[in-house]
């Protein structure tokens, strides 16, 4: 979830609970502020790359967590990233999303947007959505309200509590609900969903903002086998319309979704290729798969 969304959600959740104490309905008949879909600006992918990292390094107290990392992703690609604990996978996502500044290197979104010049909220606004491992949905809001909230990212307009969805937004919400398998749970409080459903809801919240690139850190950790299988279906469906970078340790999940797999180790790319290729790579077996 993006920082501005977290803030708005906390504000809205508390406003809702204050409001319900007054015995009014959420629609309230009030003049509506307008939630606009945050449309990502144009990303220039004419060079065939939506994300491009070159020679990126970052140290924490002298320890090189990312070490001359170079990697790129094509538009619409579903890239899997694997590697041992501490390899720098999450730190790489921190760098792409502006949470961590690298000491050196180049990070581009498309061929013209230098991500190192932008803040974390600006990067989210540009169309890079991030899913952390732990689900961060608003438990006291319904599935519908969580998705509706995700539309409220228009920086120019002071967020207001009540707004009506226009027909395009309503259609999008219905489409997202269907995509994330929660159409039957639209009025349920998010807090009552299973772990897997919460993960899907958070992915749905990201999709409401129509991200160009989605970064997903261990999305199936803690899911049942059935939820994992449905998540694989979901990612395969998203591929093409969005570019995805998926970090996972679950190899059967990776097998079910992967095209190109990148193996990170000690902060840089150790190997890259099909899952079969990297699984047969001696260096990969030694540092990761052979454990
Ligand atoms: N903010 C930070 N301050 C200090 N050290 C950090 C920070 N962020 C990451 N590290 C260190 O950088 C290294 C890489 O961590 P990172 O979380 O990126 O690994 P990972 O590949 O995501 O591992 P895992 O598979 O366990 O999630 C680790 O040694 C970690 O302790
Ligand atoms: Mg990690």
Ligand (nearest to CA of 288): 1
Q: Ligand 1 in contact with 65 (CB < 6 A)?
A: yes
SS (H, E, C) 142-187: EHHHHHHHCCCCCCCCCCCCCCCCCHHHHHHHHHHHHHCCCHHHCC
Mean pLDDT by 10 residues, the chain (291 residues): 60 49 32 33 86 98 97 97 97 98 97 95 94 89 94 54 76 94 96 96 94 96 95 96 97 96 98 96 90 56
Q: List the residue whose alpha carbon is closest to atom 7 of ligand 1.
A: 60
Give the H/E segment covering residue 236.
helix 225-238
Instruction: Quote the CA–CA distance of 32 and 76 in Å, as a whole number.
Output: 36
Residue of 66, 91, 265 to mutate, ligand 1, most atoms within 8 A of C-beta: 91
Q: Ligand 1 in contact with 86 (CB < 6 A)?
A: yes
The CATH number of 3-9+35-289, from 3.40.50.300, 1.10.630.10, 1.10.10.10, 3.40.190.10, is: 3.40.50.300
Q: Could you tell me the two tokens for 132?
A: 């952390």
pLDDT of residue 132: 87
Q: Ligand 1 in contact with 231 (CB < 6 A)?
A: no
- With beta carbons less than 8 A apart as the criterion, state whether 100 and 91 touch: yes
Q: Ligand 1 in contact with 265 (CB < 6 A)?
A: no
Contacts of 11 (CB under 8 A, 6+ apart): 159
pTM of the model: 0.85
Give the H/E segment covering residue 79.
strand 78-82
Residue whose entry in the numeric block shows the structure tokens 């679950």? 250
Instruction: Quote the CA–CA distance of 80 and 260 in Å, as a whole number.
Output: 7
Q: Ligand 1 in contact with 88 (CB < 6 A)?
A: yes
Q: Where are the domains positioned within the chain?
A: 3-9+35-289
Residue whose entry in the numeric block shows the structure tokens 């104490």? 21
Ligand (nearest to CA of 88): 1
pLDDT of residue 156: 42
């Amino acid at each position: 979830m993006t920082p501005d969304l977290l803030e708005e959600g906390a504000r809205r959740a508390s406003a809702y609970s204050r409001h319900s104490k007054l015995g009014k309905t959420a629609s309230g008949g009030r003049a509506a502020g307008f939630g606009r879909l945050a449309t990502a600006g144009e990303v220039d992918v004419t060079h065939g790359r939506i994300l491009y990292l070159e020679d990126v390094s970052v140290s924490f107290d002298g320890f090189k967590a990312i070490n001359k990392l170079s990697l790129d992703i094509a538009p619409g690609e579903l890239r899997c990233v694997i590697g041992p604990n501490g390899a720098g996978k999450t730190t790489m996502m921190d760098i792409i999303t502006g949470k961590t500044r690298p000491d050196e290197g180049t990070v581009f979104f498309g061929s013209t947007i230098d991500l190192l010049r932008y803040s974390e909220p600006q990067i989210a606004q540009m169309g890079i959505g991030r899913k952390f491992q732990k689900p961060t949905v608003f438990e006291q809001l319904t599935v519908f309200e969580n998705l509706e909230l995700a539309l409220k990212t228009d920086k120019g307009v002071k967020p207001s509590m009540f707004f009506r969805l226009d027909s395009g937004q309503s259609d999008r919400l219905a489409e997202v609900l269907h995509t994330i398998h929660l159409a039957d749970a639209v009025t349920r409080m998010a807090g009552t969903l299973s772990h897997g459903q919460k993960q899907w809801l958070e992915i749905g919240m990201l999709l409401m903002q129509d991200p160009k690139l989605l970064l997903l850190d261990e999305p199936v950790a803690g899911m049942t086998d059935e939820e994992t299988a449905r998540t694989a279906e979901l990612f395969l469906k998203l591929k093409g319309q969005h570019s995805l970078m998926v970090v996972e340790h679950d190899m059967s999940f990776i097998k079910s979704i992967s095209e190109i797999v990148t193996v990170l180790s000690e902060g840089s790319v150790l190997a890259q290729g099909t899952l079969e290729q990297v699984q047969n790579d001696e260096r990969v077996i030694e540092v990761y798969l052979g454990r």
